[in-house]
Amino acid sequence: MFKKVFFTFILIPIVAIGLFSINYFYNLNKIGISPFGLKFQTDSTALLLKSQTISKGYFDGIPIIEKITPTLNCTLTSRCIEIKNTQDNDVGGVNKDVVVPIVGPFMLKVTMRNENGGGVVSLIGALPEPSTAPWWQDRITLDMVALFDGKSPESVKILSEKIELNDSGFLSVQLIFDTHGKKLILTDRLGYLIKSIDINKETGDRFPDGLFPYGGLNLGLNIAPNAKLFISEFYGVPIL
């Protein structure tokens, strides 16, 4: 009995953490980030600078999204928000007041669920000034599985692989970007690789300066008619 309890509560978590770490570091190396080559920092000034950089580059996307459109608290998770589209056409928006600085390679974690149709969160790497031009012109956007290059209203789909949902019906993924958004690693919630993407190879060089040409991004969303979007996790953190 003791051996069974020990295996369940001690060994299984250790094995799970080990597998996650192996997958995580392997995926970082695929986009040119080598955590095993980093030196352990003991200098207090270096540690302070690193912590300041992490603080500057970290963002919590849920409060930013809540400024775009009215949201409801849902009971699915402790931080979950619900966004309803009661109209017969797509509803979208961008928080133009908050520009998230990109201080280096970073990981984005998204956990969300749709009902009655599609809904996505968006990363906007180039947002033009308000004008009478079409909405897509000069706007670079990643809508989870599709890209808009700002030159056409047509998107480029970059993901066709099926992603398994968790037990609550949520899609939970991690997106690992290099500094300029020219390379992207997509993993599941445990760090297992779904797809490694070279943005320009995938799109025929439609993003020569990457997805984040100006060193920052805005957050947005788009929801299909009469659909609901639930978001329980949406944050980014630098990889240093």
Residues 6+ apart with CB under 8 A from 205: none
pLDDT tens per residue, the chain (240 residues)?
Answer: 544 444 444 444 444 444 444 455 555 555 555 443 444 445 555 555 555 555 666 899 999 999 999 899 888 777 899 999 998 888 889 999 999 999 899 999 999 999 988 899 999 999 988 878 888 899 999 998 899 999 999 999 988 888 888 888 899 999 999 999 999 999 998 889 999 999 999 999 999 999 999 999 999 999 999 999 999 999 999 987
State the residue for tokens 């001690």.
Answer: 10
Domain range holding 46? Answer: 2-238
Torsion angle of alpha carbons 130, 131, 132, 133, nearest 10°? Answer: -90
Position 201: which residue type?
K
The domain that contains 100 carries what CATH number?
2.60.120
Structurally, the chain folds into a number of domains equal to 1
